[in-house]
Amino acid sequence: MIAAAAALGMTAVLGGCGSTGSPDVTLKLVAADYGDSAANSSKKYWDALVKAYEAKHPDVRIDVSVYSWNDVDRKVKEMVDAGDPPDMAQIGAYADYAAKGQLYKVSDLLSIQTQADFIGQLADAGEVDHQQYGIPFAASTRVLFYNKTLFAKAGITPPRTWDELAADARTLKAQGVKYPFALPLGPEEAQAETMQWLLSGGSGYTNDIGTYTLDSAENVATFGWLKDELVAKGLTGPVAPAKLNRADAFAAFADGQVGMLNGHPTLIQQAARKGVKFGTVAFPGRTGPAKAVMGVADWMMGFKKNGHREQIGDFLDFVYQDKNVLDFSRRYDLLPVTTSASEAMSASPQDQALRPFLRELPLAQLYPVGKTSWATVSAEIKKRIGQAVAPGSSPAAVLGELQSSATTADGSQ
């Protein structure tokens, strides 16, 4: 999810879709599931889109397999390692495949019009060695969600600084709120929660020249504050952050058990279904709203192994038509990756709830997805970052170990 980052999904493959005729070419696409149940699985989106495409292209069949975010990246890796990659994959990372020469360049696939329409920093994030291989598919940014009912009952206002966030959390705890501030540093999407906090503390995963800086003084101070001011004081709820996954935190918010949490657009729909009254504000920083916000993009890519460059490009040009980009974005409360669709959504009354996220996107900072080491580094963060706020732990030591792993991964790839 957005890698993303990422989104909710089911754990099993959800079949395939496409026509049953005898086409000249069959293209296989492996895609991630952005739904949280069979009722809103991404399979339904792809079924409708493929049906529309095949009706105009009877010589091409699109065979789509949809997997949960827990499985989809691993599934594609297994296929590639077995020498049988799909023609297209819509997953969380592309750089490793690009570095091995396994992907088409975007300029070899898409029309100039389609290429030119991508939002600038998303297209830039799809580059390896100044060539674009990753095609942005869906995007999101992060804001602070708060429960309006719980805040009104406690007589507090949304925080703008870390100190105000801690004060609000103390008041919510005194009111009996189960999770005053939900801090999901469990393995599902810990890299996202971590990055937002690092940015709000004035640093991030890398410096301006792309070198990993996980154990910078600012990052150590950020996790020291989280450990001492939130976790140690019992303000993050009954589940240890290292064991709290983002999906569980979102579900608790939708059940009215969370006062505040860092959230992305899909939480809008999830909370609204349960009738939770919520608001959103810019994520707090040390002395005011955070100067940088995290953005996440998920990626489409075309594999060269089976050929079919022209057919892949034609289908992807269709995928990125405004009506299809808007349909997908609205189904899952995600942000469009094209300028034209983003402008249409910004101007549309039906998309009013997404405007705070749309405003953040042009300035958002993304994961260092162009580094071939990022998949390895991200996996290590997911596995170990929760230890940095555990009782008796040393944030400096944990971040130092992660920095060492990142440096090794970066040097070996």
Last residue in a domain, options 254, 276, 292: 292
**Does 196 share its domain with 106?**
no
How many structural domains are present in the chain? 2
Tokens (6 digits) for 87: 């023609």
Q: 292, 308, 336 — which closes off a domain?
A: 292
Q: How many CA atoms lie within 13 A of 219 on its CB side?
A: 24
CA pair distance 405, 253, nearest whole angstrom = 34
Residues 6+ apart with CB under 8 A from 118: 135, 136, 337, 338, 339
Structural domain span for residue 250? 143-292
The structure tokens listed for 89 are 């994959």
Q: What is the pLDDT of residue 33?
A: 94
Indicate whether 216 and 147 sit together in one domain.
yes
For residue 315, tell me if it sits in a domain.
Answer: yes
Nearest-CA neighbor of 4 among 85, 91, 133? Answer: 91
Domain for residue 233, yes or no? yes
CB of 92 closer than 8 Å to CB of 3: yes
Tokens of 388: 């940095």
Q: Which two tokens stand for residue 317?
A: 């040009």
Considering the domain architecture, whether residues 283 and 314 belong to the same structural domain is answered as no
Per-residue pLDDT of 216-236, as tens digits, reads 999 999 999 999 999 999 999
pLDDT tens string 244-293: 999 999 999 999 999 999 998 889 988 999 999 999 999 999 999 888 88
* pLDDT recorded at residue 201: 96
28, 135: one domain: yes
Q: Do 316 and 249 share a domain, yes or no?
A: no
* Domain shared by 119 and 157, yes or no: no
Q: Do residue 130 and residue 13 come from a single domain? A: yes
- Amino acid 266: pLDDT: 85
Residue 412: pLDDT band with limits 50, 70, 90:
low
Clarify whether residues 167 and 114 are in a common domain: no
CATH assignment at residue 220: 3.40.190.10
Structural domain ending residue among the three candidates 244, 274, 292:
292
State whether 257 and 160 are in the same domain: yes
Q: Provide the whole-model pTM.
A: 0.81
Note whether 94 and 225 are same-domain residues: no
Same domain, 131 and 149: no
Question: Does residue 380 belong to any structural domain of this protein?
Answer: no
